[in-house]
Structure 1
Protein backbone atom coordinates (compact mmCIF):
# COMPACT_ATOMS: atom_id res chain seq x y z
CA UNK A 1 0.00 0.00 0.00
CA UNK A 2 1.34 3.42 -0.97
CA UNK A 3 1.33 6.10 1.71
CA UNK A 4 0.72 9.71 0.72
CA UNK A 5 1.95 12.90 2.33
CA UNK A 6 0.56 16.33 1.40
CA UNK A 7 3.10 19.13 1.83
CA UNK A 8 1.94 22.74 1.91
CA UNK A 9 4.45 25.10 0.30
CA UNK A 10 4.48 28.89 0.19
CA UNK A 11 7.62 29.63 -1.80
CA UNK A 12 9.78 30.51 1.24
CA UNK A 13 12.49 28.65 3.12
CA UNK A 14 9.85 27.52 5.62
CA UNK A 15 8.22 25.55 2.82
CA UNK A 16 11.60 24.05 2.01
CA UNK A 17 11.82 22.84 5.62
CA UNK A 18 8.39 21.23 5.34
CA UNK A 19 9.43 19.57 2.09
CA UNK A 20 12.68 18.27 3.61
CA UNK A 21 10.75 16.85 6.56
CA UNK A 22 8.23 15.14 4.26
CA UNK A 23 11.09 13.73 2.20
CA UNK A 24 12.68 12.36 5.37
CA UNK A 25 9.38 10.73 6.36
CA UNK A 26 8.87 9.28 2.89
CA UNK A 27 12.37 7.78 2.85
CA UNK A 28 11.42 5.68 5.90
CA UNK A 29 8.33 4.24 4.24
CA UNK A 30 8.26 1.33 1.85
CA UNK A 31 6.16 3.18 -0.71
CA UNK A 32 5.19 6.83 -0.48
CA UNK A 33 3.98 9.57 -2.79
CA UNK A 34 4.56 13.21 -1.88
CA UNK A 35 1.90 15.64 -3.05
CA UNK A 36 3.24 19.20 -3.15
CA UNK A 37 0.41 21.71 -2.63
CA UNK A 38 0.50 25.47 -3.07
CA UNK A 39 -2.67 27.26 -1.98
CA UNK A 40 -3.20 30.83 -3.11
CA UNK A 41 -5.43 32.55 -0.56
CA UNK A 42 -8.52 33.63 -2.46
CA UNK A 43 -12.00 34.59 -1.36
CA UNK A 44 -14.89 33.84 -3.73
CA UNK A 45 -17.11 36.25 -1.78
CA UNK A 46 -15.96 39.53 -3.31
CA UNK A 47 -18.62 41.33 -5.32
CA UNK A 48 -17.30 42.93 -8.48
CA UNK A 49 -18.36 44.24 -11.86
CA UNK A 50 -18.24 42.04 -14.97
CA UNK A 51 -15.02 43.79 -16.06
CA UNK A 52 -13.42 43.24 -12.67
CA UNK A 53 -14.44 39.57 -12.76
CA UNK A 54 -12.79 39.14 -16.17
CA UNK A 55 -9.57 40.68 -14.82
CA UNK A 56 -9.84 38.61 -11.66
CA UNK A 57 -10.07 35.39 -13.67
CA UNK A 58 -7.04 36.41 -15.74
CA UNK A 59 -5.09 37.31 -12.58
CA UNK A 60 -6.10 34.01 -11.00
CA UNK A 61 -4.80 32.02 -13.97
CA UNK A 62 -1.54 34.01 -13.94
CA UNK A 63 -1.09 33.30 -10.20
CA UNK A 64 -1.63 29.58 -10.76
CA UNK A 65 0.94 29.52 -13.56
CA UNK A 66 3.46 31.49 -11.51
CA UNK A 67 3.07 29.27 -8.43
CA UNK A 68 3.28 26.14 -10.57
CA UNK A 69 6.44 27.16 -12.44
CA UNK A 70 8.31 28.94 -9.63
CA UNK A 71 7.48 26.79 -6.61
CA UNK A 72 5.66 23.53 -7.30
CA UNK A 73 7.41 22.24 -10.45
CA UNK A 74 10.94 22.76 -9.05
CA UNK A 75 9.96 21.02 -5.79
CA UNK A 76 8.41 18.08 -7.64
CA UNK A 77 11.42 17.86 -9.95
CA UNK A 78 13.82 17.80 -6.99
CA UNK A 79 11.81 15.04 -5.33
CA UNK A 80 11.59 12.97 -8.52
CA UNK A 81 15.35 13.39 -9.13
CA UNK A 82 15.91 12.03 -5.60
CA UNK A 83 13.85 8.94 -6.47
CA UNK A 84 10.53 9.88 -4.86
CA UNK A 85 7.08 9.65 -6.43
CA UNK A 86 5.79 13.21 -6.41
CA UNK A 87 3.33 15.53 -8.10
CA UNK A 88 2.00 19.01 -7.52
CA UNK A 89 -1.30 20.80 -7.06
CA UNK A 90 -2.01 24.55 -7.12
CA UNK A 91 -5.40 25.88 -6.00
CA UNK A 92 -7.07 29.11 -4.97
CA UNK A 93 -9.08 29.34 -1.76
CA UNK A 94 -8.86 28.89 1.98
CA UNK A 95 -5.49 27.37 2.92
CA UNK A 96 -6.64 25.10 5.76
CA UNK A 97 -9.79 23.97 4.00
CA UNK A 98 -8.07 23.15 0.73
CA UNK A 99 -5.10 21.34 2.28
CA UNK A 100 -7.58 19.15 4.14
CA UNK A 101 -9.68 18.61 0.98
CA UNK A 102 -6.59 17.61 -0.96
CA UNK A 103 -5.66 15.17 1.81
CA UNK A 104 -9.16 13.66 1.73
CA UNK A 105 -9.36 13.47 -2.07
CA UNK A 106 -5.91 11.91 -2.31
CA UNK A 107 -6.44 9.57 0.67
CA UNK A 108 -3.32 11.04 2.24
CA UNK A 109 -1.97 9.83 5.54
CA UNK A 110 -0.58 13.15 6.73
CA UNK A 111 -0.28 16.88 6.00
CA UNK A 112 3.04 18.65 6.58
CA UNK A 113 3.36 22.45 6.79
CA UNK A 114 6.00 24.72 8.29
CA UNK A 115 5.76 27.66 10.59
CA UNK A 116 7.75 30.70 9.67
CA UNK A 117 8.74 34.11 10.90
CA UNK A 118 9.44 35.17 7.31
CA UNK A 119 5.90 36.30 6.57
CA UNK A 120 4.90 33.45 4.23
CA UNK A 121 3.03 30.76 6.11
CA UNK A 122 3.00 32.85 9.27
CA UNK A 123 0.59 35.24 7.57
CA UNK A 124 -1.34 32.69 5.54
CA UNK A 125 -1.21 29.51 7.59
CA UNK A 126 0.35 29.69 11.03
CA UNK A 127 -2.34 31.96 12.45
CA UNK A 128 -5.99 31.03 12.31
CA UNK A 129 -5.50 28.79 9.27
CA UNK A 130 -3.02 26.55 11.05
CA UNK A 131 -5.24 26.31 14.09
CA UNK A 132 -8.18 25.40 11.84
CA UNK A 133 -6.07 22.90 9.94
CA UNK A 134 -4.77 21.22 13.09
CA UNK A 135 -8.19 21.17 14.77
CA UNK A 136 -10.30 20.09 11.80
CA UNK A 137 -8.07 18.12 9.44
CA UNK A 138 -9.14 14.61 8.61
CA UNK A 139 -5.54 13.34 8.91
CA UNK A 140 -2.64 14.13 11.27
CA UNK A 141 -0.92 17.48 10.68
CA UNK A 142 2.76 18.07 11.36
CA UNK A 143 3.87 21.69 11.79
CA UNK A 144 7.62 21.84 11.18
CA UNK A 145 9.61 24.53 13.04
Structure 2
Protein backbone atom coordinates (compact mmCIF):
# COMPACT_ATOMS: atom_id res chain seq x y z
CA UNK A 1 0.00 0.00 0.00
CA UNK A 2 1.35 3.41 -0.97
CA UNK A 3 1.29 6.06 1.74
CA UNK A 4 1.10 9.59 0.38
CA UNK A 5 2.30 12.73 2.15
CA UNK A 6 1.70 16.28 0.94
CA UNK A 7 4.51 18.75 1.53
CA UNK A 8 3.50 22.41 1.31
CA UNK A 9 6.32 24.61 0.08
CA UNK A 10 6.49 28.39 0.30
CA UNK A 11 9.72 29.10 -1.57
CA UNK A 12 11.49 29.99 1.70
CA UNK A 13 13.56 28.29 4.39
CA UNK A 14 10.40 27.15 6.16
CA UNK A 15 9.46 25.07 3.12
CA UNK A 16 12.98 23.64 2.96
CA UNK A 17 12.68 22.50 6.58
CA UNK A 18 9.29 20.92 5.86
CA UNK A 19 10.77 19.11 2.86
CA UNK A 20 13.71 17.81 4.93
CA UNK A 21 11.31 16.54 7.59
CA UNK A 22 9.15 14.84 4.95
CA UNK A 23 12.20 13.15 3.41
CA UNK A 24 13.21 11.80 6.79
CA UNK A 25 9.69 10.57 7.46
CA UNK A 26 9.31 9.00 4.00
CA UNK A 27 12.65 7.22 4.35
CA UNK A 28 11.19 5.37 7.35
CA UNK A 29 8.16 4.13 5.39
CA UNK A 30 7.97 1.55 2.69
CA UNK A 31 6.22 2.70 -0.48
CA UNK A 32 5.84 6.35 0.48
CA UNK A 33 5.00 8.94 -2.17
CA UNK A 34 5.65 12.65 -1.64
CA UNK A 35 3.44 15.24 -3.27
CA UNK A 36 5.21 18.60 -3.32
CA UNK A 37 2.64 21.40 -3.42
CA UNK A 38 2.95 25.16 -3.86
CA UNK A 39 -0.13 27.33 -3.56
CA UNK A 40 -0.22 30.85 -4.94
CA UNK A 41 -2.60 32.90 -2.83
CA UNK A 42 -5.42 33.91 -5.15
CA UNK A 43 -8.90 35.26 -4.67
CA UNK A 44 -11.49 34.88 -7.40
CA UNK A 45 -13.63 37.54 -5.73
CA UNK A 46 -12.59 40.72 -7.52
CA UNK A 47 -14.63 42.63 -10.04
CA UNK A 48 -12.79 43.45 -13.24
CA UNK A 49 -13.38 44.30 -16.85
CA UNK A 50 -13.04 41.58 -19.54
CA UNK A 51 -9.66 43.06 -20.50
CA UNK A 52 -8.46 42.92 -16.89
CA UNK A 53 -9.65 39.32 -16.62
CA UNK A 54 -7.68 38.38 -19.74
CA UNK A 55 -4.54 39.98 -18.26
CA UNK A 56 -5.22 38.30 -14.92
CA UNK A 57 -5.47 34.88 -16.60
CA UNK A 58 -2.18 35.48 -18.42
CA UNK A 59 -0.51 36.58 -15.16
CA UNK A 60 -1.92 33.53 -13.40
CA UNK A 61 -0.39 31.17 -15.98
CA UNK A 62 2.96 32.99 -15.68
CA UNK A 63 2.87 32.65 -11.88
CA UNK A 64 2.23 28.91 -12.15
CA UNK A 65 5.13 28.49 -14.59
CA UNK A 66 7.47 30.51 -12.36
CA UNK A 67 6.53 28.64 -9.17
CA UNK A 68 6.87 25.32 -10.96
CA UNK A 69 10.33 26.05 -12.37
CA UNK A 70 11.77 27.85 -9.34
CA UNK A 71 10.30 25.95 -6.41
CA UNK A 72 8.46 22.72 -7.22
CA UNK A 73 10.54 21.17 -10.03
CA UNK A 74 13.87 21.53 -8.15
CA UNK A 75 12.31 20.01 -5.01
CA UNK A 76 10.81 17.09 -6.93
CA UNK A 77 14.07 16.47 -8.81
CA UNK A 78 16.01 16.50 -5.54
CA UNK A 79 13.61 13.96 -4.05
CA UNK A 80 13.69 11.74 -7.12
CA UNK A 81 17.51 11.92 -7.27
CA UNK A 82 17.54 10.73 -3.65
CA UNK A 83 15.38 7.74 -4.62
CA UNK A 84 11.97 8.98 -3.48
CA UNK A 85 8.75 8.68 -5.44
CA UNK A 86 7.67 12.32 -5.83
CA UNK A 87 5.46 14.55 -7.94
CA UNK A 88 4.67 18.25 -7.86
CA UNK A 89 1.63 20.46 -8.15
CA UNK A 90 1.13 24.24 -8.29
CA UNK A 91 -2.27 25.84 -7.88
CA UNK A 92 -3.90 29.17 -7.17
CA UNK A 93 -6.28 29.59 -4.27
CA UNK A 94 -6.57 29.92 -0.54
CA UNK A 95 -3.46 28.19 0.84
CA UNK A 96 -5.17 26.14 3.56
CA UNK A 97 -8.17 25.14 1.47
CA UNK A 98 -6.06 24.27 -1.57
CA UNK A 99 -3.48 22.20 0.33
CA UNK A 100 -6.33 20.29 1.95
CA UNK A 101 -8.01 19.77 -1.44
CA UNK A 102 -4.76 18.45 -2.95
CA UNK A 103 -4.44 16.08 -0.01
CA UNK A 104 -7.99 14.75 -0.32
CA UNK A 105 -7.79 14.41 -4.12
CA UNK A 106 -4.62 12.34 -3.86
CA UNK A 107 -5.67 10.23 -0.89
CA UNK A 108 -2.76 11.50 1.19
CA UNK A 109 -2.68 10.80 4.91
CA UNK A 110 -0.76 13.81 6.20
CA UNK A 111 0.25 17.38 5.33
CA UNK A 112 3.66 18.72 6.26
CA UNK A 113 4.31 22.46 6.22
CA UNK A 114 6.79 24.90 7.68
CA UNK A 115 5.92 27.44 10.31
CA UNK A 116 5.70 30.99 8.94
CA UNK A 117 5.95 34.25 10.84
CA UNK A 118 3.93 37.19 9.61
CA UNK A 119 3.13 39.23 12.75
CA UNK A 120 0.70 39.11 15.66
CA UNK A 121 0.75 36.41 18.33
CA UNK A 122 -1.07 33.68 16.41
CA UNK A 123 0.77 34.52 13.21
CA UNK A 124 4.08 34.47 15.07
CA UNK A 125 3.25 30.98 16.28
CA UNK A 126 2.04 29.44 13.04
CA UNK A 127 1.21 31.95 10.32
CA UNK A 128 -2.38 32.56 9.32
CA UNK A 129 -2.49 30.01 6.46
CA UNK A 130 -0.83 27.38 8.60
CA UNK A 131 -3.18 28.12 11.47
CA UNK A 132 -6.22 27.72 9.19
CA UNK A 133 -4.80 24.50 7.77
CA UNK A 134 -4.24 23.00 11.22
CA UNK A 135 -7.76 23.89 12.30
CA UNK A 136 -9.60 22.70 9.17
CA UNK A 137 -7.59 19.97 7.42
CA UNK A 138 -9.15 16.56 6.86
CA UNK A 139 -5.89 14.81 7.81
CA UNK A 140 -3.19 15.42 10.45
CA UNK A 141 -0.91 18.39 9.82
CA UNK A 142 2.70 18.50 10.92
CA UNK A 143 4.13 22.00 11.34
CA UNK A 144 7.91 22.08 11.18
CA UNK A 145 9.66 24.93 12.96
Q: TM-score, normalised by structure 2?
A: 0.93
Instruction: Tell me how large the CA RMSD over aligned residues is.
Output: 1.6
The corresponding residue for 1:144 is 144
Alignment of 1:115 with 2:106, yes or no, is: no
The corresponding residue for 1:71 is 71
The corresponding residue for 1:26 is 26
User: Post-superposition shift, 1:118?
Assistant: 8.1
The corresponding residue for 2:62 is 62
Name the stretch that deviates more: 24-33 or 128-137: 128-137
Could you list the structure 1 runs, at least 4 aligned residues long, displaced by more than 6 angstroms after superposition: none
SS across alignment from 2:116 = coil
User: Post-superposition shift, 1:116?
Assistant: 3.1
User: Post-superposition shift, 1:128?
Assistant: 2.8
Alignment partners' CA distance in 2, 1:26 and 1:2: 11
User: Post-superposition shift, 1:131?
Assistant: 1.9
Structure 2 unmatched ranges of 5 or more:
none
**Matched positions, count:** 141
